[in-house]
Structures are given as C-alpha cells and as structure tokens.
A and B are shown apart, each in its own frame.
Chain A
C-alpha cells in the first residue's frame, strides 16, 4: 500500500512533519480549541431537537458523536455546517463566531450520508468541484485532484470515470477526496459508512483513522454505531434526547459509563442494582463479602448499579474465588469468532453474559450448574440519577 502522501495535504499548523516521519503526538502540539459550542438549542415547533448543549473540540481531534436515532446528532451536525439555524446559542470556530454565517461561507465541509456525489460529473470533476467554485484554474485543479486520488488510494485513471461506474467503497473515497479538496478547518461526517457491507466498512474505518493522522485535520463524525466510534475516534460524545450524556475517551466511556443508558449503549453489559434495606452495601443477584466491599471502599450509602462487562466475568472453577459471585445455570453458548459467549441464568432469573477467549472454552451440559464471579477492580459503579 502506498503510504506516501503529498506534503501539501499535511497541515503545517498541526505540527506534522512532511518527511514521512510519524506524526507528533497530538497532546504535545495542540491545546487551542477549534470549535466551541455554547448553550446551543434548536427547536422545531414544539419539539426540542437539541437542548442547550455545550461542547469544546480541540484542533486536530477526531470526535465521534454517537447516539440512537432521534437523539439530535443529525440536528447538531446540520447546525454546525450551517444547514439549519440555531434557535439560540453560539458556535465559535477558533475566535470567530459562526452561527449566523451561511453554510457556503463557513470553512467547514461535510461528507454526507448519501455522499451527495454529483451524478452528472466525472470522479475528477467531483473532486475538483470546491476548487472550481473558488476559481482555481483548470490545470491546477486537475493536478490537485490527481494528488487527492492518491491520498484516498484510488488509481489515477479514475479521474475520468463516471460516478455510476464506481463501487460503494470507491464512492466513499471520492466523497472524501472532494471534502479534502475543499481543505476545511473541520471535516464533518454524517454516517457515511452506514450503507456499506461489514468488511468494507471495517477497512474504511481504519483508513479514515489513518487519514486523520496523516492530515492532522479535525474530524467530527456522527454515527449510531458504537464500534465505528471506538475504532476511529479520540473522544466519543454520547447523545440522548437532545443532549450529551457523556463525553470522554472511548476507553473511559466503555469502562466507566456515567449512566445506565451509556453502559447499555456501549455494548453488552451486566448490571446489578443495589439492594434496598440491607444493613451494609448489597446488590441484587450477586453476593459480595461485606469485608471485601469495605476494603474496596464501597460506601453503604451508594445507590445505583454495579456494572461488569461480559469479558470481566469468569466461570469459576471449584474453589476459585472472586469479589462478587453468584450461582447459576449455563443456558446457551455462542461462538463470536475469537471469543465465546455464555448466557448464565441466575437463581433470581437474571441472565448474566460471560465472554471468554476461545481457548478458555468450557465443556458444559444443558442445565449444568456453575458459578460466575468477577473482581471489583474490573467492575464499575454507576450512581443512580
């Protein structure tokens, strides 16, 4: 694969070397926020699509905004690129307020869900389009388009191809090249990979992340797919009914969700609620030695959930100990490729999901009794709102 990129593509401000040396870690070079959203609100008639959200994005960051449909992520991105006007609030790009600047005068660009490639223009003409609008002459436009074909790993002869002759993956690359030709301060993505098949999507996710590192540009990517967000982004913002539920690095959001919504949105999870009326801290379905709970600093006043991801839960061998344990019956087994998943029904009826690597696969009979367990340092507490 061709990893050489045209030097011009690399953003000097991002402090990225042009010699092909690995990029300087972002944290060392960027501190200034490129985008600041203050109390941004959007209502459609009676419906509040976006409820006073605040967000700061660093220069060169890859931020993924994730949420179920109807959570307001599309409204947010449309406000940011200027296709909708906010009801109230401010949008700042560096030190310039842009919420009343029309879309065509904003130095931002978006890759659409439908890609919005012009069917009456060739691949090359599509890529050159923003340059043409800016009045760049034909020869320069062509040279730049050919460079960008290289950047998105399409052969040069694609310049003359018609859009209709390109496959889904190739169209993605053309749309990306066109957005890069615009050379935006921030590049927005509105779920552009959602229509592709799994394998192609996985490949393009990695390429996009790679491209982000090479260009040093700020990417803001909206998606309903958590996996997509985790693979690509530096930070994830989870949206729920018009507001941010949690913003943080993928690792933090996965391991330390702030709410049950985030915990359940970020993949499979086992949640055990605190048991009311117990003398010391206790949870439904699992038992914890009070001494261990005390040693781990669990406050008796705590109300909420104890969360354990399936990969933190083990099937205990006879005599094996864990901080939290429960007895149950294995109900079913699923092969997830490199991992095995077991569904264990506890005495209370609650079903615990356990994931083991394939080498640790256990042999079991239907209805076989088992003991599950996990340690508290691999679990997380979610305070009830």
Chain B
C-alpha cells in the first residue's frame, strides 16, 4: 500500500523524530569530545583532537579499557559455552522439572540489576570474597549467561531433531554428531549470543558498580567522573567505548558475510 502525499510527509517526520530522539544525545557527546571547551556548549567555538590524544596516552584510561575488555571477553566466552550446553539441554533432552528449570534459569534477566548487584555483593561479603573485577565477571555472568542461553535455545528449537537422528543413523558417534551437525547448525546462534554477551558486559554499569570493589570498569569511571571531578576526557572515553562496540558489531557482520560468501564460492 502506498501512503498519500500527506501520509508520506507524516511518516518521514515521524521517522526523523524517532531517529533524532535515539541519536541526538549520542551525537552531542561526540561533539563534546572534540570541543576545545571544558564544558559542552553550542555552537562549538574550537574543534580539537587533543582529548583523544590525552585519553590514549593516559594510563588510567588504558587501565579502564583493559579491565573492561578482560571482563567482557571472559564473560563472552563463558556465556557462549554455558549457553550452548544449556540450550542443548533445554531443546534436545527431556527430563523431569525441565520446564521449571528453564524458567528459573531465565528469571535473573528480569531482576532489577541494582538489586542483583547488591545481592551478589552481600553474598561475596558473607562468604569472604574481596570484590575485584574478577567478582564482576561472576556478577555479569549471572545476568548475561541466561540471555546467551535464551538466544542459542531459540536457534536450537528451530532446527529439526531428525537431523541429529539421521546423523546417528548413518553411523555418527555422539561426538561426531555434535561436530558434524549440532555445532555447525547452532553456530549462528552461538555467535550472536557471544556478540550480545560482549556488548552487555562492556556497557554494564549497575552490576559492575556493586561488584568490582576497588577496580573500575569504563562505565563506572564515566559515572564517577560525573559525580566528582568532571574531566573533559569523559565524553572522549565515552565515544571510545561506543566506537569499540561499533567496531565489534561491524567486524562480526563482515565475518558472517564473508563466511557465507566463502561457503557459497567453495560449494558452487
């Protein structure tokens, strides 16, 4: 159906408004990061890249990036592995209490993260673990591993269980079935679960705030600097963080495009 002229103008206006709502704040942070002035004001009188230079030279910033990167990477890897086996257990095997377990596993996604963070902090104290970025990994996993499991489970539910039976019927051992059929078919789900895990961990604030102890992740530092002692590096580090996320997503897309094309080329 084609909209009338008035309708079309309305649709465009609506689209632009939504996009502006979504992206204007981020764009203004972008402007702030290249403004000479200490505080953001429009119009920008002088553009500069000095904050980026300083940020990249700063030990604090590289420490922040390193800690955030370590947390996100480890959370991603563990989430992918847990999610893979968890999804298989959900979708492929029938066992008692499976449905109940399924729901309980997914429940942490719906908890307010600040409450979850507080609960974990109290728990770490109770068992005598000093919170560092290591404990933040556990906290992130409590929230992110269920999400990864959910993403992979959707994929696992969507493929025909007869594929695995057929592989077995044609002589595959359990391991061969996993390698030849299950893993290749679940891979797209595992990759997107990994991508989500990384981005959710990389940008997570509430869980990190409660559970990193003396260590700081990137979002925590941004918040700390806003509360006390604003630095013009704040928008810059913020933009670096966004840039890292974008790079990851772009790389993931490129890799998936290339592998499909590679596959098509090798089979045609």
Contacts and interface: CB of A to CB of B under 8 A. Distances in A.
Contacts of A102: 168
B163 A116 contact: yes
A251 B168 CA distance: 37
B168 A103 contact: yes
B7 interface: no
Contacts of B181: 118
A120 B268 contact: no
A243 B264 CA distance: 49
Interface in A74-114: 81-83, 102-105, 108-110, 112-114
B168 A160 contact: no
Contact of B169 (A81, A113, A120, A160): A81
A295 interface: no
A133 interface: yes
A22 interface: no
Nearest to B267: A122
Interface residues of A, number: 27
Most A-side CB within 10 Å, residue of B163, B169, B171, B172: B169
B160 A103 contact: no
B165 interface: yes
A130 B160 CA distance: 19
Given A103-B168, A103-B169, A104-B173, A120 B184 contact: yes
A119 B170 contact: no
Contact of A110 (B169, B172, B184): B169
Interface string B9-41: 000000000000000000000000000000000
B184 A104 contact: no
Given A119-B185, A133-B180, A160-B267, A182 B171 contact: yes
A241 B173 CA distance: 34
B169 A118 contact: no
B169 A104 contact: yes
Given A122-B267, A133-B171, A112 B165 contact: yes
B170 A118 contact: no
A122 B268 CA distance: 9
B200 to A, nearest CB: 28
Interface string B155-194: 0000110110111111111001000110011000000000
Contacts of B160: 114, 116
Interface residues of A, dominant DSSP: mixed
A134 interface: yes
A244 interface: no
Given A110-B169, A133-B172, A160 B185 contact: no
Contacts of A103: 165, 168-169
A113 B163 CA distance: 11
**Residue among A120, A162, A178 with the most chain B CB within 10 A?**
A120
Contacts of A129: 167, 170, 180
Contact of A116 (B166, B180, B267): B166
A130 B169 CA distance: 9
A68 B165 CA distance: 24
Contacts of B167: 118, 129, 133
Interface in A115-169: 116, 118-120, 122, 125, 129-130, 133-134, 160, 162
Given A120-B185, A133-B180, A162-B267, A182 B165 contact: no
A110 B160 CA distance: 15
Contacts of B268: 160
A330 to B, nearest CB: 49
Contacts of A118: 163, 167, 181
A110 B171 CA distance: 12
B172 A104 contact: yes
B61 to A, nearest CB: 43
A76 B168 CA distance: 18
Nearest to B268: A160
A157 B173 CA distance: 31
Contact of A83 (B163, B169, B184): B169
Contacts of A81: 169
Contacts of A160: 267-268
B166 A112 contact: yes
Nearest to A105: B171
A154 to B, nearest CB: 16
A119 B184 CA distance: 10
Contacts of A104: 168-173
Given A129-B170, A133-B171, A112 B184 contact: no
Contacts of B166: 110, 112, 116
A133 B174 CA distance: 12
A316 to B, nearest CB: 54
Nearest to B263: A120
Nearest to B173: A104
B176 to A, nearest CB: 6
Nearest to B185: A120
Nearest to A123: B267
A104 B164 CA distance: 11
Contacts of B171: 104-105, 130, 133-134, 182
A188 to B, nearest CB: 9
Contact of A112 (B159, B162, B172): B162
Contacts of A116: 160, 162-163, 165-166
A114 B162 contact: yes
22 contacts: A83-B165, A83-B169, A104-B169, A104-B170, A109-B170, A110-B166, A110-B169, A112-B165, A112-B166, A114-B160, A116-B162, A116-B163, A119-B159, A120-B185, A129-B170, A130-B170, A133-B176, A133-B180, A160-B267, A160-B268, A162-B264, A182-B171
Interface of B: 159-160, 162-163, 165-173, 176, 180-181, 184-185, 264, 267-268
Given A130-B170, A133-B172, 4 more contacts: A116-B163, A119-B185, A134-B171, A160-B267
